[in-house]
Amino acid sequence: MSSDDSFELLLEYMETELSFATSHYNDSYLDRRITARMRRTECETYGEYYEHVRSNPDEQRALLDSLSINVTGFFRNPEVWDGVRDVLRSLAGETDRIDIWSAACADGREPYSLSMIVHDEPQVDPSTVRILGTDISNEALQVAREGVYQESRTTSIGGELEYIDEYSQFIEYDSGENSYRVRDTIKQPVEFQRHDLINGDPKSGFDLVTCRNLFIYIDTEYKQSMLQTISESISQGGYLIIGKSETIPPEMKPVFSPVDNRNRIYQKQD
């Protein structure tokens, strides 16, 4: 069997037996993760790894864990948040109410960062802002609703929060637990809902949508339909922010004109 055939067989196995929707993700992403697991398990070929994973429940779990794409953080790519602040200032000058959708919000640190900026920015009245955080993962949403984040060897929550000078007004540090709890003022404008950007319906009336660091994993075919869903959800003149290493596919370029190229901020066209 060729290496390509074994790779395909492995993807089929992951889709049917491990219930991981490989078809939605791009092959190079899947390949990188699988190859890393092959190195760890000292398998030299896809075929050898396929046999190994089929007979080894621990490896099935390890493979699924390694594919987890829920990496996130408060104020991820801090420079982008200066751009977010600019967008919020211009929206505040134009409309009485600002609706924000943090799509694919993972464990909530992105929508809570939005809420913190809203509360930190003197030109924005927080009582006029609503933030919706959605994700496909119920587990991530559960953490998001709770709003408590554990500092660990690999995650410096305190470091992430440094973007805001006096973050302790927005989030409380518990030295006993070594964790951070989002304060009620910051939680108050934020609501969480499960939503699948590939199969779910569009929403409507949003002034700003952030959809960051999901497209990088997604197959081109689905990427365009996801952006279509997002575009229908944004009001005319509203804004879209994607991840720093992501791009708008050519077919969608007429819909989103760049406002801030470096920070991947776009405005929806008429």
Ligand X SMILES: C[S@@+](CC[C@H](N)C(=O)[O-])C[C@H]1O[C@@H](n2cnc3c(N)ncnc32)[C@H](O)[C@@H]1O
Pairing label, strands 148-150, 179-182: antiparallel
Contact criterion met (CB below 8 Å) for 73 and 160: yes
Please identify, using beta-carbon distances, which residue of 23 and 269 lies nearer to ligand X: 23
Are 183 and 115 within 8 A, CB to CB?
no
CB of 4 to ligand X, least distance (A): 26
Minimum gap (Å) between residue 181 Cβ and ligand X: 20
Q: Which two tokens stand for residue 122?
A: 């003197």
| Residues 196, 202, 207, 213, CA torsion sign | positive
Shortest Cβ 68–ligand X spacing (Å): 8
Q: Which residues bind ligand X (CB under 6 A)?
A: 69-73, 76, 104-106, 110, 135-137, 140, 196-198, 212-214, 243
Rank residues 94 and 196 by Cβ distance to ligand X and give the closer one: 196
Minimum CB separation of residue 61 from ligand X in Å reads: 17
In terms of CB distance, is 111 or 189 closer to ligand X? Answer: 111
Record the tokens describing residue 6, joined without a space: 């074994």
Which of residues 187 and 212 has its CB atom nearest to ligand X in the complex?
Answer: 212
What is the chain's length? 270
**Rg of the Cα atoms in the chain:** 20
Token readout for 107 is: 């464990």
Q: How far is the CB of 188 from ligand X (least distance, A)?
A: 21
**Which of 92/248 has CB closer to ligand X?**
248
Considering the complex, state which of residue 195 and residue 268 has its C-beta at the smaller distance from ligand X. Answer: 195
Q: Which is nearer to ligand X, 76 or 268 (CB)?
A: 76
Quote the CA–CA distance of 49 and 198 in Å, as a whole number: 30
